[in-house]
């Protein structure tokens, strides 16, 4: 890795998508193997941005001369409709997609999307440490050759819309952008609203032009993508988890020497732990940033929140067969 710091490189990529390829390779020394890490989030305060840069910095320092990780944030290399295919083809080596995006590879990941299954991120982290949670890290190894390196928490999700939402009935008839998750689609339908699956990079424009009326996301995504600018307000529903699978391909891992693989996996473990330890503070800071920037947040009474729980709970039953009762019970009881 040349002296040009990776942080500068990723910053340059954030603001100048056109020069992404030239900037990235110039940061690596001749002879170093370039490892491309593509993701879709942006800004400087987002948990995934920080964790991805931290991983790159660590590998580039500790495995200097061997590997050179280059991070492409903000969908500058691949958007979320193409990144898994790119990993299959070997056009990228590292990703951290939302767990809601794996439906076509393994429906079991739907457990992470079940509304109100996790009370908070600590609860979700406990589940990832159970046998069922650990098994899911490798659920796509046999059919796609994808290998989970760790779960990165991102935050709980909140609804925003172009009108104030206090009860689920306020959302009736509205269109909501969702990720490509059947569970999320069912959840929106249960509210009497219409789900529209869409890539993350298109959400701001779709909210601004009225293609959709609302969306659901974490404080960090709502702040760094400025969704609050084009929504009436955000409602603190806390209804679902957003977490990522930090992942690579079996082909890439197998191509490393045993010693390099061990070092690479050890760095991945350390960075995963650090990311999950600091995510709550990042979310809280970005909630405050939204308010500072003029965004409005609606809080709910316990009674109001219960109406969201009651409206969405039937979704669990619908996906019990796909996800497995054992996995749902392990998650709910973690
Ligand atoms: C979304 O599409 O809303 C999120 O998955 C984006 C992300 O990666 O946080």
Ligand 1 pocket check for 221: Cβ under 6 Å: yes
pLDDT at 175 over 50: yes
Q: Which pTM was predicted?
A: 0.93
pLDDT at 27: 80
pLDDT band at 1 (very low <50, low <70, confident <90, very high): low
Task: For residue 154, give the ligand 1 atom closest to its CA.
Answer: 9
Ligand 1 pocket check for 128: Cβ under 6 Å: no
Q: Are 308 and 237 in contact (CB under 8 A)?
A: yes
pLDDT at 244: 98
Once rounded to an integer, what is the mean pLDDT over residues 122-145?
96
pLDDT band at 81 (very low <50, low <70, confident <90, very high): confident
**Span from the CA of 22 to the centroid of ligand 1 (angstroms):** 26
Ligand 1 pocket check for 38: Cβ under 6 Å: no
- What is the SS3 assignment for the chain? CCCCCHHHHHHHHHHCHHHHHHHHHHCCCCCCEEEEEECCCCCCCCHHHHHHHHHHHHHHHHCCCCEEEEEECCCCCCCCCCHHHHHHHCCCCEECCEHHHCCCCCHHHHHHHCCCCCCCHHHHHHHHCCHHHHHHHCCCHHHHCEEEEEEEEEEEEEEEECCCCCCHHHHCCCEEEECCCHHHHHHHHHCCCEEEECCHHHHHHHHHHCCCCEEEECHHHHHHCCHHHHCCEEEEEEEEEEEEEEEEEHHHHHHCCHHHHHHHHHHHHHHHHHHHHHHHHHHHHHHHHHHHCCCCEECCCHHHHHHHHHHHCHHHHHHHHHHCHHHHHHHHCC
Ligand 1 pocket check for 243: Cβ under 6 Å: no
Nearest CA to ligand 1 atom 5: 98
pLDDT at 14 over 60: no
**Span from the CA of 258 to the centroid of ligand 1 (angstroms):** 33
Task: For residue 97, give the ligand 1 atom closest to its CA.
Answer: 8
Once rounded to an integer, what is the mean pLDDT over residues 181-208?
97
pLDDT at 220: 97
Better-predicted residue by pLDDT, 128 or 16: 128
Ligand 1 pocket check for 24: Cβ under 6 Å: no
**Span from the CA of 79 to the centroid of ligand 1 (angstroms):** 10
Once rounded to an integer, what is the mean pLDDT over residues 192-219?
98
pLDDT at 7 over 70: no
The strand pairing partners of 217, in sequence order, are 158
pLDDT at 225: 97
pLDDT at 104: 87
């Amino acid at each position: 890795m040349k002296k040009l710091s990776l942080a500068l490189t990723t910053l340059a990529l954030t603001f100048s998508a056109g020069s992404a390829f030239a900037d990235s390779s110039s940061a690596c020394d001749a002879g170093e193997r370039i490892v491309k890490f593509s993701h879709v989030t942006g800004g400087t305060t987002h948990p995934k941005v920080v964790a991805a840069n931290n991983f790159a910095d660590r590998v580039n320092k500790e495995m200097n001369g061997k590997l050179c990780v280059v991070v492409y944030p903000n969908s500058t290399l691949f958007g979320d409709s193409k990144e898994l295919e790119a990993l299959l083809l070997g056009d990228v080596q590292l990703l951290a997609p939302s767990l809601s995006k794996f439906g076509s590879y393994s429906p079991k990941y739907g457990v992470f999307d079940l509304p109100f299954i996790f009370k908070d991120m600590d609860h979700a982290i406990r589940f990832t440490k159970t046998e069922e949670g650990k098994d899911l890290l490798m659920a796509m190894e046999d059919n796609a050759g994808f290998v989970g390196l760790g779960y990165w928490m991102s935050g709980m999700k909140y609804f925003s819309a172009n009108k104030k939402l206090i009860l689920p009935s306020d959302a009736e008839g509205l269109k909501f952008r969702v990720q490509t998750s059947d569970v999320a689609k069912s959840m929106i339908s249960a509210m009497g609203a219409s789900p529209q699956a869409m890539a993350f990079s298109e959400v701001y424009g779709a909210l601004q032009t009225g293609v959709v009326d609302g969306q659901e996301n974490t404080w960090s995504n709502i702040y760094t993508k400025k969704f609050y600018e084009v929504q009436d307000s955000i409602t603190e529903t806390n209804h679902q988890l957003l977490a990522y699978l930090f992942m690579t391909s079996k082909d890439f891992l197998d191509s490393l020497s045993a010693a390099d693989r061990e070092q690479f996996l050890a760095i991945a473990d350390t960075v995963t732990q650090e990311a999950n330890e600091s995510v709550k503070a990042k979310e809280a800071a970005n909630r405050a940033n939204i308010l500072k920037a003029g965004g409005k947040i609606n809080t709910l009474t316990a009674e109001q929140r219960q109406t969201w729980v009651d409206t969405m709970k039937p979704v669990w039953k619908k996906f019990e067969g796909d996800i497995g009762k054992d996995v749902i019970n392990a998650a709910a009881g973690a």
